[in-house]
Amino acid sequence: MLEAAAIGVPHDVKGETIVVFCVLRPGETDSPELRGAIASRVVADLGKALRPETVEIVPALPKTRSGKVMRRVARAAYLGIDPGDVSALENPLVLDAIRSASPIQA
């Protein structure tokens, strides 16, 4: 894994749960085993309470031109709501991959 970002999303039972977006290194391939290993690593490093509900593999994270990951925008795209001002994004097209990974169809 090259980089990752976590967001909180609403959950019917828990109130809120964690979704992790990961960008893979060149040559790595997405698989259920890889997603499970990423979730297990979070548990090992941070504890069971922070185990992600979902690990989504995306080609890139939404970042500003200075490199700051815009989690607010990623969360809005995943939830299918208006992300607001995205003029600071380096590449607004990365939101399409997040929207397509979402189980929520807007």
Is 106 part of a structural domain of the chain? no
pTM over 0.85: yes
Q: Which two tokens stand for residue 64?
A: 């500003």
| Beta carbons within 8 Å of 72's beta carbon, 6+ residues apart | 83, 84
Domain that holds residue 54: 3-101
| Beta carbons within 8 Å of 76's beta carbon, 6+ residues apart | 82, 83, 84
Is 62 part of a structural domain of the chain? yes
Statement: residue 98 has pLDDT above 90: yes
| Number of domains into which the chain is organized | 1
Q: Which two tokens stand for residue 44?
A: 């090992």
Distance CA 55, CA 82 (A): 22
CB-CB contact of 45 with 38 (8 Å): no
Which CATH number covers residue 25? 3.30.300.30
Each residue's pLDDT tens digit, 18-28: 999 999 999 99
Is 20 part of a structural domain of the chain? yes
Where residue 105 falls among pLDDT bands split at 50, 70, 90? Answer: low
